[in-house]
């Protein structure tokens, strides 16, 4: 997986975020979910495949992970250290 692909999706996401700025406030939340989040998810996927660390705290977090989750198993950004998505999912699955 090449860096070009990451750069491509980064620019696509930027365009989607620009479009969101022009969306009327009352449609913003819906528009964010529908038009921006998919780009974020794709970008996380291509970064992951390109061996670029991604934050596992939230499905739409694109911050550079600088720390690890509480369990010390997954990379997360500073903000999501206490809310690792992977650890939460595992706990839920065990029940
Ligand atoms: Zn994060
Ligand atoms: Zn974790």
pLDDT of the residue at 1: 53
What does pTM read for this prediction? 0.84
Which residues constitute the domain of residue 9?
Answer: 1-52
pLDDT of the residue at 50: 94
Cα-to-centroid distance, 82 and ligand 2 (Å): 9
Cα-to-centroid distance, 22 and ligand 1 (Å): 26
pLDDT of the residue at 93: 58
* Closest to 71 in 3D by CA, of 48, 95, 89, 51: 89
Do 4 and 47 share a domain, yes or no? yes
Closest ligand relative to 85 C-alpha:
2
Do 81 and 35 share a domain, yes or no? no
Q: What share of the chain is helix, strand, coil (3-state, %, to 5)?
A: 60, 5, 35
Helices 37-49 and 3-21: angle between axes, nearest 10 degrees: 170
Q: Which parts of the chain register pLDDT below 50?
A: 95
Cα-to-centroid distance, 43 and ligand 1 (Å): 14
Do 61 and 48 share a domain, yes or no? no
Cα-to-centroid distance, 68 and ligand 2 (Å): 7
């Amino acid at each position: 997986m090449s860096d070009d692909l990451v750069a491509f999706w980064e620019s696509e996401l930027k365009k989607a975020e620009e479009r969101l700025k022009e969306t009327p406030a009352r449609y913003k939340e819906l528009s964010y979910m529908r038009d921006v989040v998919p780009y974020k998810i794709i970008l996380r996927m291509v970064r992951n495949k390109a061996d670029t660390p991604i934050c596992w705290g939230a499905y739409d977090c694109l911050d550079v992970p600088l720390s690890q989750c509480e369990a010390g198993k997954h990379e997360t950004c500073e903000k999501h250290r206490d809310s690792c998505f992977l650890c939460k999912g595992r706990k839920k699955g065990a029940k």
